[in-house]
Chains A and B, each alone.
Chain A
Amino acid sequence: MSKAVVDLPPKGGFSFDLCRRNEMLISKGVHPPSFRKTGTTIVGLVFKDGVILGADTRATEGPIVCDKNCEKIHYIAPNIYCCGAGTAADTEAVTDMVSSQLQLHRYHTGRESRVITALTLLKSHLFSYQGYVSAALVLGGVDITGPHLHTIYPHGSTDTLPFATMGSGSLAAMAVFESKFREGLTREEGIELVCEAICSGIFNDLGSGSNVDVCVITKGHKEYLRNHQMPNPRTYVSSKGYTFPKGLTEVLTTKITPLKEKVEVIEGNDAMEE
């Protein structure tokens, strides 16, 4: 049988095998599930020595918060980071893909990656999928030509800006930036402004929440401040707690399987003899 049933590792890219079946299900009135989105506030700004990126940490699945502390600032290169808003799987996959492409490029050229390279790779990938890969990104980094900050929209258009916000909380954060941003901020001022903008998104937008992540990139150095601010601690914890006495739930059968130690065979020094 040449049409192999064997599932070999694919050559890469998307596979559309199940599309026809899914279309049939939709026509029968069965709706596809909602994907995990990062209704988000992501920001970036250029300061005196480099770029500061900020993001909130809430991931939502419809109206439910499924992850209270997710990471939205993704690594692209040692000198380039990218914040992602939109469908979580898309932002993760697209940034991972570009990150590996850039690593290969660095091996080929022997040089530090440029932000514009990452930008072009991302925008051409997103454009070729015509917006169906729903990833809105804020890309920032410092390379040989200086600090750069770009925004990338799901359809593939880009902007180059001194300060940028994206996501559902972008208006709340942009309000803070527009009133308080100025050229030539110091590192402390920049971090404070970014935190204020993200907090504005956290408190005023329902899709954003939990903590503030900040990433500071300067020439030759980067600092990823995970959970730099935690303005939403869990305030009420039941003092008594919940105890579950054994036997509360009737156990019908129990099967205990001891796990075997895997024995390692170390080859002796003697060569095999015939």
Chain B
Amino acid sequence: MSIFEYNGSALIAMVGKNCFAIASDRRLGVQLQTIATDFQRIYKIHDKLYIGLSGLATDAQTLYQRLFFRHKLYQLREERDMKPETFANLVSAILYEKRFGPYFCQPVIAGLGDDDKPFICTMDSIGAKELAKDFVVAGTASESLYGACESMYKPDMVCSIFSCTYIYKHKVLDIFGPFTKPLHPSNPTEKRKKFMASYICKPTKCRLDLTNY
């Protein structure tokens, strides 16, 4: 069993018209057992920059704390917020530093850069950046998310979040339980209790939705 499937996660970020959306599931599990249904995977770095961390939950929390610390130092020194491109480079460098003993995390970074241009990016666990213009996915459900995004994504969506949520609705099976097998037959009602958190960020405001699926 892979270390990535220990806690399980699904993350997605999409670019819309002058906005971006980032969404995650909220289940925390220990292999097949669900421990929590309100686990936070997306963290705010500053008003216009969010990072989602999939993979091993303990590494995700540690990595977030280190990154937030580095950003606070940057804010003190430079007296401004970090641009998303710069932050992506920082995350990549921190992950590559641990090349031979990596953090078991795959980050998804989403932010508004210069002129409020949306920026999204994902990396593998050792920091190989993938900049995309449309969508990025990470986590154990990534294969299903790739498929759903490829077929349903349209450029310049005003509220790309709805695509995210619709995609999640479709991919219920992959988010609950063992990620490569179908839903466990003995608890079909569990899925109603699963929540999903999504942030949609425009230049003037940011919206957090907790949705059911």
Contact = CB atoms under 8 A, between A and B. Distances in A.
Contacts of B146: 64, 66
B204 A14 contact: no
Contacts, number: 150
Interface in A224-274: 238, 241-242, 244, 246, 248-260
B160 to A, nearest CB: 10
A260 to B, nearest CB: 8
B210 A253 contact: yes
Contacts of B103: 18
A216 interface: no
Interface in B151-199: 151-152, 154, 162-163, 165-166, 168-169, 195
A93 B102 CA distance: 15
A248 B99 contact: no
A88 B4 CA distance: 19
B207 A255 contact: yes
Given A64-B142, A256-B207, A257-B205, A35 B166 contact: no
A252 B196 CA distance: 10
A110 interface: no
B100 A33 contact: no
A36 B128 contact: yes
Contacts of B48: 259
Given A64-B146, A244-B163, A252-B212, A18 B3 contact: no
B211 A249 contact: yes
Contact of A31 (B1, B101, B142, B213): B1
Categorize the interface residue count of chain B: 35 or more
B32 to A, nearest CB: 15
Contact of B128 (A30, A89, A253, A254): A89
A112 interface: no
Interface string A2-42: 00000101100111111111100100011111011000000
A13 B95 CA distance: 12
A238 B152 CA distance: 9
Contacts of B130: 36, 59, 66-67, 70
Contacts of A67: 130, 132
B111 interface: no
B204 to A, nearest CB: 6
**Centre residue among A10, A33, A70, A252 by max chain B CB count within 10 A:** A33
Contacts of A252: 195, 209-212
Nearest to A238: B151
B2 interface: yes
A7 B66 contact: yes
Contact of A259 (B47, B96, B99, B208): B47
Give the 10 A-B residue pairs with the shortest CB-CB distance, closest first: A19-B101, A88-B128, A89-B128, A249-B165, A18-B101, A36-B124, A244-B162, A89-B126, A242-B152, A255-B208
17 contacts: A7-B69, A7-B70, A9-B70, A16-B101, A17-B98, A17-B101, A18-B103, A35-B124, A61-B124, A93-B127, A132-B100, A242-B163, A244-B165, A249-B211, A254-B208, A254-B210, A257-B208
Interface of A: 7, 9-10, 13-22, 25, 29-33, 35-36, 59, 61, 64, 66-67, 70, 87-90, 92-93, 132-133, 238, 241-242, 244, 246, 248-260
